[in-house]
Structure 1
């Protein structure tokens, strides 16, 4: 038995990563499992995968309109948003989720499989479900060069807006601060997900594109 589940996802299995707020789905994306120890889950995404995302987020990506993106955060705080279809483009993303952690680590590759950047996404510790994992994005991100020689914080303004709107309370803010220190420490020491080698960062086999199941918008119970 693992800390998260009695039955890890098998390599190649579809796992749905969802953001949940106010008991509703905010995003849902199907991914393929690379490896699953129960405590660490490695997933992959690549161009052509169709997901669900807030229409404000989709519009801001297509237009670059930051005002629309900020409005999406306000809509989230108010508990009102609409979902649209979004197809992932251009990059392959290899992701590592660690049980109990307030961040996940992602490695972006170009179309030829060459590393583009590291990306640390701060989020609530994920919860296992029958179809994947549920979490919630906490807006703050850390981006690092492919060789980890440099790094920079991203979306600190969105994080501040989420704080003002009450999406991130003081208790979670303290936990995020602690997670920032842990992520930076692992990055600087080249440890954990940032270690030089590991199957987590192996490009995925030629799996078929994963798809969203009919249950993607439901709220299934956590796996044992």
Structure 2
């Protein structure tokens, strides 16, 4: 296991899984990645990818901070579409969309499993502009063999699918007003791991 995050299921159908998390949600991350977040040093993230390639890392207990996140994913897709919300006055506002390229969802007893393939697409909240993110890290994990040629081909196809979905205003981009006004219910506690909580 490379990482683990506690999420709240918003919708789960044959066609789409929608989950969310909020500040305070429990997580487990590789210790180099956790250190990279703390010190803001990109080279530490490189260490994390090298540990992944070697198959040797330790997990550190973590807590999701700052943003509320909602994730949308069809079961066979090689990507998920994420909406990030940031504090704004007494509530939150949609800051941006974030497309994460990853393995299709695999169901497990305790949740679901996927695998992050490093490259991402960041889209403005109003869909007016986009930028590719972490292309250098994606090239690095390709060189390390973490992402195979077959996975690379799947990512290239997924990129085309996402851009077409964005242009056609399909999927979650068809209901951006609804997503922009969605809010985490104040009565919902931060998600926790059911089997191994970080604190009693």
Give, in angstroms, the shift of residue 214 of structure 1.
2.5
Give, in angstroms, the shift of residue 129 of structure 1.
1.1
Whether contact under 8 Å (2:68, 2:184) holds in the other structure is: no
Give, in angstroms, the shift of residue 204 of structure 1.
3.0
Whether contact under 8 Å (2:22, 2:184) holds in the other structure is: no
1:38 paired to 2:23: no
How do residues 78-89 of structure 1 correspond to structure 2 at under 5 angstroms? 78-89=54-65
How do residues 101-112 of structure 1 correspond to structure 2 at under 5 angstroms? 101-111=77-87, 112=91
Residue in structure 2 matched with residue 162 of structure 1 by the alignment: 141
Choose from 108, 114, 125 the match for 2:93.
Answer: 114
Residue in structure 2 matched with residue 28 of structure 1 by the alignment: 4
Distance in 2, matches of 1:74 and 1:197, equals 38
Give, in angstroms, the shift of residue 44 of structure 1.
0.6
| RMSD over equivalenced CA pairs, Å | 1.6
For the residue of structure 2 that corresponds to 1:207, the secondary structure is coil
Distance in 2, matches of 1:110 and 1:189, equals 27
Query: What runs of 5+ residues in structure 1 fail to find an aligned partner?
Result: 1-24, 217-224
Distance in 2, matches of 1:209 and 1:64, equals 25
Distance change in 2, residues 1:171/1:140 (3 Å): same
Residue in structure 2 matched with residue 66 of structure 1 by the alignment: 42
Give, in angstroms, the shift of residue 187 of structure 1.
1.2
1:127 paired to 2:106: yes
For the residue of structure 2 that corresponds to 1:143, the secondary structure is strand
Query: What runs of 5+ residues in structure 2 fail to find an aligned partner?
Result: none
Return 116-125 or 82-91, whichever deviates more: 82-91
Runs of 4+ in 1 over 3 A off after TM superposition: 197-201
How do residues 131-142 of structure 1 correspond to structure 2 at under 5 angstroms? 131-142=110-121
User: Whose helix proportion is higher, 1 or 2?
Assistant: 2
Total equivalences in the alignment: 192
Distance in 1, matches of 2:125 and 2:102, equals 22
Choose from 203, 208, 215 the match for 2:189.
Answer: 208
Distance in 2, matches of 1:35 and 1:90, equals 23
Choose from 121, 141, 153 the match for 1:174.
Answer: 153
Whether contact under 8 Å (1:96, 1:200) holds in the other structure is: no
TM-score normalised by L of structure 1 = 0.82
Give, in angstroms, the shift of residue 203 of structure 1.
2.1
